[in-house]
Chain A
Amino acid sequence: SQKIEQNSEALNIQEGKTATLTCNYTNYSPAYLQWYRQDPGRGPVFLLLIRENEKEKRKERLKVTFDTTLKQSLFHITASQPADSATYLCALVTGGFKTIFGAGTRLFVKA
């Protein structure tokens, strides 16, 4: 069956460290993969997109990698801050416009 797996356990890290979140998928061939941030009571906010032919994408303190052989994406936040605390969602687009979301991983950054 098709699945997107994100670590359901919350990730707790110290301010200033690098947070690394994992997204694994099975039985999909995504054209591209997106990462969103979601805060309580709000809708997801788009962060980054990486295409199937790209290995890595960066935006300020964010970095995303995409390994289509391992069927995995890693999302890194460097020099993390308490304001980075949120739920981060991985999302795949296999074709067209429909996006398939993972359940998300909660990140807590302690000061």
Chain B
Amino acid sequence: EAGVTQFPSHSVIEKGQTVTLRCDPISGHDNLYWYRRVMGKEIKFLLHFVKESKQDESGMPNNRFLAERTGGTYSTLKVQPAELEDSGVYFCASSLENPGQGIGYTFGSGTRLTVV
């Protein structure tokens, strides 16, 4: 089966611009997650979708970040306007069930965002 696909793999934008990241989860995975790794730091949770509903968005840093998952398939994460501190690698992951069932998450390769 195809894995989790993220697009673009890299993005360089200027401060104040808008960027939209896309994630295509594994087909049939109702659970979709966004995570972020800022340089030198650990990977941090942003939010969790179950189908098209936001189950937990406690990790979203501020209202410049907007995540959507219309139709419960792919998801987008928009940053508007981008700030320098938004630079990092944004990972998407999906799972069929609660990761505690033993299979963890399946991650995409990430989008490396650089804000200059």
Contacts of A54-111 to chain B: CB distance below 8 A: 89, 93, 96-104
Contacts of B70-116 to chain A: CB distance below 8 A: 91, 93, 95, 98-100, 102-110
Number of interface residues of B (CB under 8 A): 29
State how many angstroms separate the Cβ of B31 from the closest Cβ of chain A.
6
Contacts of B44 in A (CB 8 A): 101
Complex Cα gap A45–B91 (Å):
12
Contacts of A45 in B (CB 8 A): 107
Contacts of B67 in A (CB 8 A): none
If the complex has contacts A43-B109, A43-B110, are A4 and B42 also in contact, measured as CB distance less than 8 A?
A: yes
How many inter-chain residue pairs (CB < 8 Å) link A and B? 64
Contacts of A103 in B (CB 8 A): 41-42
Complex Cα gap A77–B56 (Å):
34
B11 within 8 A of A: no
Complex contact A42–B33 (CB within 8 A): no
If the complex has contacts A97-B33, A97-B55, are A49 and B100 also in contact, measured as CB distance less than 8 A?
A: yes
B48 within 8 A of A: yes
A46 within 8 A of B: yes
Complex contact A41–B31 (CB within 8 A): no
Complex contact A31–B107 (CB within 8 A): no
Complex contact B100–A43 (CB within 8 A): no
Complex contact B100–A51 (CB within 8 A): yes
Contacts of A96 in B (CB 8 A): 56, 98
Contacts of B29-81 to chain A: CB distance below 8 A: 31, 33, 35, 41-45, 48, 55-56, 58-59
Given contacts A44-B105, A96-B56, 5 further A-B contacts (CB under 8 A): A43-B109, A49-B102, A98-B58, A100-B45, A104-B42
Q: Which residues of A contact B (CB under 8 A)?
A: 4, 31-32, 34, 36, 41-47, 49, 51, 89, 93, 96-104
Q: Which residues of B contact A (CB under 8 A)?
A: 4, 31, 33, 35, 41-45, 48, 55-56, 58-59, 91, 93, 95, 98-100, 102-110
